[in-house]
Amino acid sequence: MDYTTAMELTIENLVKQGFMHQRIEYDCRIALVQYHCVDEMLKRQYLIENPKENQIQLFKRICKLKYEEAITKYHFNSLKQCIPAHLASDYFQNQLMGKPSIIDSVQDITVRKKLSKHYIEVAEQTNADIMILARDTAEGQMHQYQKQYNMEIHQAWQHEKMFPFDQRLTPTMIHMMRKCLANIDTRLEYIYKCKAQLFQLNTNVL
In a domain, 5, yes or no: no
Cα–Cα distance for residue pair 106/44, rounded to 1 Å: 71
Q: What is the pLDDT of residue 171?
A: 94
Q: Which of 194, 202, 201 is nearest to 32 (CA)?
A: 194
**Residue span of the structural domain in which 190 resides:** 12-205
Residue pLDDT, tens place only, 113-156? 787 777 777 777 887 788 888 889 999 999 999 999 999 999 99
In a domain, 140, yes or no: yes
Cα–Cα distance for residue pair 119/116, rounded to 1 Å: 5
In a domain, 24, yes or no: yes
Residue pLDDT, tens place only, 86-122? 555 555 555 555 556 666 666 777 877 787 777 777 7
Cα–Cα distance for residue pair 163/5, rounded to 1 Å: 75
How sure is the predictor about 14, in pLDDT bands with cuts at 50, 70 and 90? Answer: low
Residue-averaged pLDDT of the chain: 82
SS3 126: helix
Residue pLDDT, tens place only, 40-67? 999 999 999 999 999 999 999 999 999 9
11-15, 102-106, 156-160: least confidently modelled range: 11-15
Cα of first residue to Cα of last residue in the chain, in angstroms, is 23
In a domain, 7, yes or no: no
Q: Quick one: what percent of the chain has pLDDT higher than 70?
A: 77
Indicate the number of domains in the chain. 1
Q: What is the pLDDT of residue 99?
A: 56
Q: What angle do CA 16, 18, 20 make, to 5 degrees?
A: 70
Average pLDDT over residues 194-202: 80
How sure is the predictor about 1, in pLDDT bands with cuts at 50, 70 and 90? Answer: very low
In a domain, 142, yes or no: yes
Q: Output the furthest CA–CA distance in the chain (Å, rounded).
A: 87
- pLDDT at 180 exceeding the cut of 60: yes
In a domain, 4, yes or no: no
**Could you give the angle at which helices 109-162 and 90-97 cross, rounded to 10 degrees?**
140
- pLDDT at 170 exceeding the cut of 50: yes
Q: What is the pLDDT of residue 88?
A: 56
Q: When comparing pLDDT for 36 and 117, which is higher? A: 36
Q: When comparing pLDDT for 184 and 202, which is higher? A: 184
pTM score > 0.85 for this model?
A: no
**Buried b or exposed e, range 145-172, using 16+ CB within 10 angstroms:** bbeebeebeeeeeeeeeeeeeeeebeee
Q: What is the pLDDT of residue 18?
A: 62
In a domain, 47, yes or no: yes
In a domain, 1, yes or no: no
